[in-house]
Structure 1
């Protein structure tokens, strides 16, 4: 089962949230329903703008921790390298 490290944004260049999950579609849906993270709920951080998959949970957790330590500018560069328009990638998960 793949594990996903993901970044959510409130809007382009908005508030960011980094998380890890074993079911990205379910987890983003939960965030959009206001479940699981008070931070996401408070700041309406629901746009999936970046994701990376890993086979081992340990590697995914380490990557999540690394991204959380990164500066905001580095996170924005990472997002814009793969998603320059900050499109919401959620609809592509089941497509």
Structure 2
């Protein structure tokens, strides 16, 4: 995933079953690095959400933003099920997207 522009939706967490943040970006490796380094003040920095636990790539930013809104409007149990289905051990997927 070396492209500079690749729309993606993602979830970062502070620990397994902990606080979850849902976001959208056009450069997933760069954005997750920003979360991990605490560069940007806000929710993720305050809550220590640094682990990439789920992501999906999209063809356009429009689709990525629509999916982000859908996820943010859903229940916590649906978010947990999405993470558990793709990443049952809640591993930090950052290395996977930087490979």
TM-score range, shorter chain: over 0.9
1:32 to 2:36 alignment: yes
Change (3 A) 1:67 1:30: same
1:36 positional shift: 2.9
Q: Which runs of 5+ in 2 are unaligned?
A: none
Change (3 A) 1:29 1:55: same
Which residue in the other structure is 1:4 paired with? 8
Q: Which runs of 5+ in 1 are unaligned?
A: none
Q: Deviations over 1:4-62 (max 9, x none)?
A: 10000110000000000011000001111212351000000010000011011111000
Q: Superposition pairs for residues 15-26 of structure 1, below 5 Å?
A: 15-26=19-30
Partner SS, residue 93 of structure 1: helix
1:93 positional shift: 1.1
Question: Normalization by structure 1: what TM-score?
Answer: 0.95
Q: Superposition pairs for residues 52-67 of structure 1, below 5 Å?
A: 52-67=56-71
- Alignment length, in residue pairs? 95
Identify the match of residue 81 of structure 1 among 79, 82, 85.
85
Superposition CA RMSD, Å: 0.9
